[in-house]
Structure 1
Amino acid sequence: MKRFACKKCVPNNFSVKFSQYLTQFDYPLFSSCLLLRYASQNSLDESSQKQVPRTGVKERPPYRSHVHTHKAFEVLNMMRKQHLLCDVRLVAETVEIFAHKMVLAACSPYFHAMFTSFEESRQERIVLQGVDPYALQLLIEYVYTAEVHVTEDNVQVLLPAANLLQLADVRDACCDFLQSQLHPSNCLGIRAFADLHSCLDLLGNAEAFIEQHFSEVVEGEEFLSLSHHQVCKLICSDRLAVKSEEKVMLVVGGQAPKAIRSVECFDFAAETWTSVAEMPGRRCRAGLVVLNGQVYAVGGFNGSLRVRTVDVYDAATDQWTTTCSMEARRSTLGVAVLNNCVYAVGGFDGSTGLNSAEMFDPRKQEWRMIASMATRRSSVGVGVVNNLLYAVGGYDGASRQCLSSVECYCPETDKWRSVADMAFRRSGAGVGVLDGILYAVGGHDGPLVRKSVEAYDPEMNKWTPVADMALCRRNAGVVALKGQLYVVGGDDGTSNLSSVEVYNPKTNTWSMLGSSMSIGRSYAGVVIIDKPPPLAPTSTAN
């Protein structure tokens, strides 16, 4: 029996037209291969098609292509985008997406149930209520490509949509992303989000994070927005890792009169000073900050060179280690912590004042340069208010004048802008922040060492004078604790100071701390940390 159809049923140009049709699907050889296979099969006689039994020959496993499914879905996605053979349109708000019911049903249990059991199986246009249109586009793209990019901008709409469509892999990818973003400032929000959408693993991980970082969590804005019931439920956990409420003040290095490596610790409860582990080398004019419970001593002057070095102190072990160095040598710089990163601003490299700034990311363990300030500033003070970094006063080296100008850095735009000038020029001023107000303390203008203090309100963009200190001070360390400012050491233009003054903004008054440091320190770094376990005293070396 002949297998070929008659010419009336199949036109002569059928193979040509079919081949041309297939080329639009990127199958340049498909039609010729098809015809060749058809011809070769029909050229075999019956004897050649008989299976001859063979003994002693190991049966080969079936051939399996590792790219077949991928290529097939590539073609299906191309057909979807060209609206070819599509049998359904998904509608979310004003967005309409063409698709194939068979593909959707194969990849999503939600669509499988819809197209095999419900009334929608006969509909060509289906409206999905409560689904974000952008998230729906991403998820349909994922169905055809197995790829989706989860970001901070889309995760909050992508996860609930993936939950609805029962795309478990995408939901898990969103949960993994949110878990990687857990931070004391956002963990309560992520926990609530996980609870709302029944993401049990993420919920458990968020709760564990909150318990381990409870002391930092309670200081964030999210905690203040909790209801009384939510707070009670949170603090009832017996797994809370609550740090000691006791704080100590750490004074590192300084000039007395040469660069020193000693470190003193003031216990507020006992009102006593003790010595702790010395720095690896002599250092003054460094910047000092606390990040993730560890103290970072950044840059400075070792008595002969301005350095890029960064040393880290762990109070729990009373040990110093060295971490990644900065890009530039900097002494008399300003340092601050913003968005869990360390910022190093301005300073002096040994030949000129610097307007450059850089940022250290502890997750990547690297420094990178950020936008430069408009003005060179050595002996600059810095502070953070409302996620903005302020560089206050300093000395530009070019005009040979101390500065009254102030610049403000926004990390989101990587740009500096000028804000209101101080009333007085101040180089070497101490800068501290209390209740959203920036304080510039002391400093000098040429030979004139100041005891005056100014307060800056970012909302008003205005500086206001407050009460003077008892002593003139420049190059002092300033820290805030429990609603008060502590101004530590410095010099008065003649001698280094060991005393500490305390400012109370409620009464606008200054008082002397009852106990002074063992030596006078100018250009020392000062921070507040949680009280560590009892430390064995160590000798102090100048």
Structure 2
Amino acid sequence: MTLACPNYTHSPLQRNPPPLPKTKIEPISSQIKPCPVFSRMDQSKPHVDVFHYRNEEQSSYLLLQLNRLRQNRILTDVLLCSDNTEIPCHRNILASSSPYFTAMFCHHFRETNQEKVDLKGITSSILSDIVDYVYTGVITITMEIVLPLMQASSMLQYTRLFEACSSFLQEQLSPDNCLSMMRLAKILHCNSLKEKAREMAVQSFSDVSTSEDLCELSLSELMGYLEDDWLCAEEEQVFETLLAWIHHDPFSRRGAISDLFRKVRLRYIHPTYLFQFIASDPLVQSSTLCTEVIESVRRLMFSITTKCGSDLKPLWVTPRRFTCRETLVLVGGRKNNEQTSREALLFDERTQRWQWLAKLPLRLYKASYVCIHSILYVLGGLTMNTKHRVVSTTVYTLSLKTNQWRTTEPMIQPRFAHQSVSYLHFIFVLGGLGPEKQACDTVQRYNSMFNQWEAMVPMPTAVLNPAVAANDQRIYMFGGEDAMQNPVRMIQVYHIGRNMWSMMETRTVKNVSAPAAVIDDKIYIIGGR
């Protein structure tokens, strides 16, 4: 074969072909003329030297192609075996997807060069689902496979798949199964499921306490719930729960009554329930510690002068549980000079909804309101139903559990526009206006345990609309106004145990019709005029 060139031929057999003719070669750049388009672009905006391109679909496309290669057994180099089933895979894909397979194939284990790897403890169907998930990122979780899938994903160290199973189980949580889910979460070492299950058990303890699973709890597990400040249950129900747990296996559990009883916050139990039901329970009576605690509480409640002993103080000062069933009650009032309302409304913080309560038996103007142990007391007031308005001594009670109104022992003296405050199981009615609409300095005390009223020593100065709060055996009255509506700049303090008053004049106090509240031993006065 010969190659043809202008004015030049040679045979490929020639060893020394003649030299090529000398030709002047121009540089390529000199032969390229500037493109007008690029010239215009250069003039319109700065020149860009680098352009970073990202294909968002590349990773999913690559995964799709790898799965097709696997399905067609192309370039697969290992077989995962289970239940006589062989699943072809790529070592590099498995090693990239899990620390388990990284260690197996990259750290000189015997499986590194084995053609077949036998995975014990995993069924072939679950293994197939996991391999499909590795290559596609998709899996269907059902109640039938979630547990073996969780165990396999834990063993093979697929963390996100494990947490996906946990999220699925969290959606199935209910008061009936949350305790069994807790046990399952502990076995699987799944903290996210354990936390959610415990949260539901605490928030729905009223329902959980009636389940059979509760009786299967260990002593330490039950103690953990009963000492939780966020437990959503009344203290009466806490006591009934520990009784049910003991009665489930009385022979081995009755010795735990003393430890469990100390978890009941006796201060927030209605005295009638405490002394008539709890104190007479055979299990409680069989424990010396329990009877001593109840006797100490009895002395503390019946005698205000009795101070809390060091042995009882840890139980007595324990705060009320942050129950999710706290409610706000709205009673009476008037709008745009209309008639005083008889309506009562309750706002449930848990559901964030208002609901109607039974109406007041009659219209009352400027009565006072106190709540003790889920019982709302409406004291005195000016009756608005009759032709002639009467200052009332009547005390109405509304049970927030049964939604029923009743009357209890009336006050000693009729009052309206007065202040009321509770301390332990006592209610104190302070000042107010009498039948002649004169300002009163009287103090009346109601014992809710014995349904009895008694007169206490009067206050130093009669005031209307002060801010009132009770704390640490004392009632504090801040400011207020006299009968001529002049502000009273003083603080009056009543010592409950000693039945005596003290007072202090101060220019810093000037509040009328301002509510007061005690939080963490601090008194807060809000608004007013």
TM-score by length of 1: 0.41
Tell me which of the two structures has the higher relative contact order, counting C-alpha pairs closer than 8 angstroms and 6 or more residues apart.
1
Higher gyration radius (CA): 2
TM-score by length of 2: 0.42
